[in-house]
Amino acid sequence: MIFLRYESFRSYLKLYPVTSTLIALNIVYFIVVALNGNPNAAYHAYRFGAFATDVSFDPFGLQEPWRYVTSMFMHSGIEHLLFNMFALLVFAPPLEHLLKHVRYLIFYLLCGIGGNAMSALVNVLENDLEGHIGVGASGAIYGVYGAFLYISLFRKSQLDESSRKTVYTILIFGVIYSFLVPSIDLWAHVGGALAGFLLYNVFDRVKTRKNYRYS
């Protein structure tokens, strides 16, 4: 099963430098935010870079677009952080190996942005006048799951049966859990997963064309 991790700490850092760096940045920034106040307080989170939209004035958060990225490295509490970092630690390395480091980093960031964009879009469609504050790496992590869903459906030879079942289970559990817990942004998860599915399709097609060209 590709999601089981057997590497030593040193080997993990060497083999998956982007994932290691992302985990480190999330932890460091959480400490910075927590030392300066309550990371679960909306205004405090906003001050430190949370994704924010307002249906009346800035429905898609485009006045401060950098929040699409900074919010991906913020978490509302220690449980939120640990849950997401465990998922990143375990499930992201095989994708970094498949995409290689630079493409994987681009993929990860775009999935996080896609999750925030989907959340903003749904808030606009629902005409949520209370505004929206969002933090967390979940959109990007669900992008990783979306990529593996694509692989499970269209590149089955790259995943063993146990790994495919794990992908399906995580996605089903994630959707159910997102519905049950009000504080979780379901649409950020959906947007991230959709972005991951579509982006991996693009990367896969590009790779296939290159292999065909040079064969």
CA distance linking residue 95 with residue 144, whole number of Å:
7
The residue from 75, 80, 132, 189 that is catalytic is 189
Active site residue 80: no
The residue from 20, 76, 138, 178 that is catalytic is 138
CA distance linking residue 202 with residue 199, whole number of Å:
5
The one-letter code for the residue type at 180 is L
**3-state SS record for 36-94:** CCCCCCHHHHHHCCCEEEECCCECCCCCCCCHHHHHHHCCCCHHHHHHHHHHHHHHHHH
Active site residue 101: no
- Alpha carbon separation from 139 to 38, 44, 79, 88, 173 (Å, rounded): 22, 21, 17, 11, 15
**Measuring CA to CA, which residue among 87, 83, 71 is closest to residue 120?**
71
Q: Catalytic residue numbers?
A: 138, 189
